Amino acid sequence: MDYLGRLRLGVNIDHVATVRNARGGNVPDPVRAAKLAEEFGADGVTAHLREDRRHMVDEDIEALVDALTVPLNFEMAATDEMQKIALRHKPHAVCIVPERREERTTEGGLEVAREENKLAHFIAPLADAGCRVSIFIAADPRQIEAAARIGAAVVELHTGAYCDAHAEGRFDERDAELARLRDMSSFAHSLGLEVHAGHGLTYDTVQPVAAFPEVMELNIGHFLIGEAIFVGLGSAMQKMRKLMDEART
Ligand code: PXP
C-alpha cells in the first residue's frame, strides 16, 4: 500500500512543564518550547492537562491556544472538568487518554469497548464543537472497533509495549508488538479511522512505526525533551524528522 500522506510529527511538551514545576517558578516555559518546536517544523504540539496538574497547568493551555499557529492536540481524561476546558478552548484535536493518579505516565490505552455508550456521549459535544476526536488505545481489534462505533475520527495506537520490549532487550516480544501495531494500523484504517501512534518512541524505535503506510502522525515527547537537554530541541527534532522521512522512502 502507498503512503497515505506525509507523516506528521506532533511534539509533546509536557515534560518542559515537569522541569519547571520541580522548582515551582516560570522556567523553563513550555510555551517557549512549543514556539521553538513550531519553528523547527513541528506539525502540531501536544499537551496533556492531567487532573492532578503535575506538569501542564490550565494557564499553559490558555497560553498555548493563544500562541500557537500549528494545531494543538489537547490530551485529556474523559472527565466533565476536562470536557468543559476543551469546549472553552476548542483545540484542533482532543485525544482522550486513560488517567490514573498513581501512574508515572499513561501506561495503557483507553478501555473503549466496555465504556462505549458513556464515551460516545462524552465525545459527541467535542466533535460538534469542531475538535478532531482521537482515542488513545492499545493495538487491539476490540478497542479499534469500539472507537469506530463511538464516532471517533482518529485512533492513536499506544507504542509503549513495543518501545519497552526494545529497551529491555526482549526482541521477540518487540517484534510481536510491532507486528500487532502494523496489523492494527491497517485494520483501523480499513474502518475509516485516521491512525496516529505514540508513547516511548526514540531514535531507535521510531522507524519501523513510521514505515507503516496508514500511520499519519507520531506524537513524541519525553525522548525529544530529554535529548533537548544535550543538543537543543531543534536538533533533536531535526534528527527525529530525518529518521521518519527515511523510514517513509
Ligand atoms: N501520545 C499519547 C496519547 C500520550 O499520552 C503520550 C504521553 O503523554 C505520548 C503520545 C508521548 O509519549 P512520550 O512522552 O513517551 O513520547
pLDDT tens figures, 168-192: 999 999 999 999 999 999 999 999 9
Cα–ligand 1 centroid distance for 96 (angstroms): 12
CB atoms within 10 A of CB 65: 16
pLDDT, position 240: 98
Residue 21 cell numbers, joined: 514545576
Cα(54) to ligand 1 centroid in Å equals 15
For the Cβ of 75 lying below 6 angstroms from any atom of ligand 1, the answer is yes
Mean pLDDT of 204-223: 98
State the Cα–Cα distance between residues 160 and 198, nearest whole angstrom. Answer: 7
pLDDT at 121: 98
The confidence score (pLDDT) of residue 1 equals 73
Q: How far apart are CA 207 and CA 229, in angstroms?
A: 23
**What's residue 30's pLDDT?**
98
Segment 25-40, tens digit of pLDDT = 999 999 999 999 999 9
pLDDT at 104 over 90: no
Q: Is the pLDDT higher at 115 or at 100?
A: 115
219 CA to centre of ligand 1 in angstroms = 6
Do 222 and 183 contact (CB within 8 A), yes or no? no
Closest atom, ligand 1, to C-alpha of 160: 15
Catalytic sites, residue numbers: 48, 75, 199
Helix axes 141-149, 171-190, angle to 10 degrees: 30
What pLDDT band is residue 108 in, cutting at 50, 70 and 90? Answer: confident
Q: For 123-157, write each residue's pLDDT tens digit.
A: 999 999 999 999 999 999 999 999 999 999 999 99
